[in-house]
Structure 1
Amino acid sequence: MRLGLSPWRLELSITRRKFATLAAALSVLVALPQLAVAAEPGKPFRVVTTFTVIRDIAQNVAGDAAIVESITKPGAEIHDYQPTPLDIVKAQSADLVIWNGLNLERWFEKFFQNVSDVPSVVASDGVQPMGIKEGAYTGKPNPHAWMSPANALIYVEHIRKAFVQHDPANAETDHANAAAYSARIKAIDAPLRQRLAAIPEGKRWLVTSEGAFSYLARDYGLRELYLWPINADQQGTPQQVRHVIDEVRKYDVPVVFS
């Protein structure tokens, strides 16, 4: 959605594509168990993730060395997903389960109690969480840590280590793929900063529906504005919508991402 409010359309249109590139590239531990459980010889290493971003990150690390599936489908509500019996079967048949943590998948811990002898990895382990600033989840960690390139590299490293531990036969492939994927993530940084530097500091706004980009806004010095902090909350109250409209008009924000 575009708001014809400013002459900065061209620069922000370019920047918008950069954000889309970053989101796609980043579209991704508590301690690993003491005993590593390796995949059975001759069988493909099977990985199940809680949602598609982590599936994409894991698939980039594994390449053709593993079968990676997501419990939730693209576009599905992640926060309050209702697992099915088939989801339990899928997780039970996996050699490794990867989840985000930071309270993103509020259903996962209870769900995983129904799965036995399958190791799991929290991809966000070690991330310095940002707190949610408003609403019912005030003070809780913002779970969208992968939107920071630096945090995305943490995700990649946790997944690489887990693959090497639980599927040592493909360790060389995992090392190489993780290095290549990390290089792609790092390559996003400089061009994005260069594009943003062309925009006056007071115009560097990131306006979205959900407050899912706080880590990205922090890393790149953007002022963040959103309708609601977590998608599971609501579709936006009249007060929230009015606040965003007023701020967009007040600061002459030319682009809204929704």
Structure 2
Amino acid sequence: MPQSTRRQSVRAMVLRCLVLVLVATGCARQAPPSSAPDDRPRVLTTFSVLADLVDTVGGGHVRVESITKVGAEIHGYEPTPSDLVRAQDADLVIDNGLGLERWFERFLNSVDAPHAVLSDGVEPIDIRTGDYRGRANPHAWMSPVAAQTYVDNTVEALSGLAPDHVADFEANGEQLKADLADLLTGFREDLADADVAALVTCEGAFSYLARDAGLREAFIWPVNADSEGTPRQIRSVITFVEENRVPTLFCESTVNPSAQEQVALATGARLGGTLYVDSLSGPEGPVPTFLDLIRYDLDTIAEGLTR
């Protein structure tokens, strides 16, 4: 075969290959996405922390969504019409209870779905000050002990929703409870080196954790959206910090730290890292999961009280 003919043959072969590649690529780009329905039971929780806890126990057998977005302030949230629409399709609605979601009772009245309260069975700690004096402190999920009750309630709720997967729910729940217990054990060991066993925060969200760990506790206001950072509240915390020689103060991610900054300025205490309570951080942040949130806060508090 002449050389020119051979070159033409090669070029033709290359062109045919290119055409085949382009056709295949075009077909791939135009292929419709999978339209397989997600027929898993749909669980709606009030905020992102509970959503991840439920998702961890669910192990992929349920589809879990949070009403509020990451970073939202949960106490005074105002449900939107779209929230109500989403809830209508839920197979189960889950809230914290203990008066945390003040808006939720009105929300639930508009939703025809089964309902579970994760704090049921937790021994409550009463709020001692402020407009909510005498009511239960709602932040029980911040306790590695009380959170185990949340896990048990989640296992029970999901088992009623998807009975074919009870064994998986129970196994996932036992693992999560074991992880929580390990975190508390490590926290107590870390605190053995603390000069001062006292925790000072902006919101009173750590009363249950303080009970677990034997910490004295002070806070500027008991519940977000209560009277936040009044002169009287700030003076009271300044006195506590000075009398107990507290080295480090903390504030939460969803509130303004300016009141705590005033306490630090008046006492010489340093500000520790930000604590997370009412919301996860998102995938790229420090607390993308419930267990990460507990671990991060315990590590941050221990570091602040022992360094």
CA–CA separation in structure 1 for the residues paired with 2:122 and 2:228:
29
SS in 2 for 1:241: helix
Tell me if 1:194 matches 2:213.
Answer: no
Aligned to 1:3: none
Aligned to 1:208: 201
Tell me if 1:160 matches 2:160.
Answer: no
Of 225, 234, 257, which aligns to 2:227? 234
SS in 1 for 2:250: coil
CA–CA separation in structure 1 for the residues paired with 2:167 and 2:122:
26
CA–CA separation in structure 1 for the residues paired with 2:54 and 2:94:
9
Of 58, 80, 87, which aligns to 1:84? 80
What CA RMSD, in Å, does the superposition of the two structures yield over aligned residues?
A: 1.5
Tell me if 1:115 matches 2:115.
Answer: no
SS in 2 for 1:65: coil
Cα deviation code 1:63-114 (max 9, x no counterpart): 2212111111122121221101111111111111110111111111111111
Aligned to 1:224: 217
Does the CA contact (< 8 Å) of 1:204 and 1:223 recur in 2? yes
Aligned to 1:4: none
Please report how far the alpha carbon of residue 238 of structure 1 lies from its aligned counterpart in structure 2 after TM superposition. Answer: 2.1
Please report how far the alpha carbon of residue 42 of structure 1 lies from its aligned counterpart in structure 2 after TM superposition. Answer: 7.0
Q: Which amino acid aligns with 2:150?
A: Y
CA–CA separation in structure 2 for the residues paired with 1:150 and 1:143:
14
CA–CA separation in structure 1 for the residues paired with 2:144 and 2:164:
29
* Structure with bigger RCO (C-alpha 8 Å, 6+ apart): 1
Please report how far the alpha carbon of residue 234 of structure 1 lies from its aligned counterpart in structure 2 after TM superposition. Answer: 3.4
Q: Percent identity?
A: 50
Of 241, 247, 252, which aligns to 1:248? 241
SS in 2 for 1:136: coil
Aligned to 2:92: 96
How many residue pairs get aligned? The number is 215
Cα deviation code 1:157-184 (max 9, x no counterpart): 1101111111112223212211211111
SS in 1 for 2:57: helix
Q: Which amino acid aligns with 2:229?
A: G
CA–CA separation in structure 2 for the residues paired with 1:253 and 1:186:
27
Of 27, 44, 48, which aligns to 1:48? 44
Tell me if 1:106 matches 2:99.
Answer: no
Please report how far the alpha carbon of residue 156 of structure 1 lies from its aligned counterpart in structure 2 after TM superposition. Answer: 0.3
Cα deviation code 1:195-242 (max 9, x no counterpart): 112224xx1010100001001111111110111000111331122223
Q: Which amino acid aligns with 1:227?
A: I
Q: Which amino acid aligns with 2:144?
A: P
Please report how far the alpha carbon of residue 131 of structure 1 lies from its aligned counterpart in structure 2 after TM superposition. Answer: 0.5
Tell me if 1:127 matches 2:122.
Answer: yes
Q: Which amino acid aligns with 1:62?
A: G
Gaps of 5+ in 1: 1-40
Task: Tell me the TM-score normalized by structure 2.
Answer: 0.67
Task: Tell me the TM-score normalized by structure 1.
Answer: 0.79
Does the CA contact (< 8 Å) of 2:46 and 2:68 recur in 1? yes
Q: Which amino acid aligns with 1:240?
A: Q
Does the CA contact (< 8 Å) of 2:148 and 2:177 recur in 1? yes
Q: Which amino acid aligns with 2:206?
A: F
Does the CA contact (< 8 Å) of 1:49 and 1:68 recur in 2? yes
SS in 2 for 1:134: coil
* Runs of 4+ more than 3 Å apart: none
Gaps of 5+ in 2: 1-36, 252-307
Aligned to 2:33: none
CA–CA separation in structure 2 for the residues paired with 1:100 and 1:135:
21
Q: Which amino acid aligns with 1:208?
A: T
Does the CA contact (< 8 Å) of 1:77 and 1:232 recur in 2? no
Cα deviation code 1:33-90 (max 9, x no counterpart): xxxxxxxx97112110011111121011012212111111122121221101111111
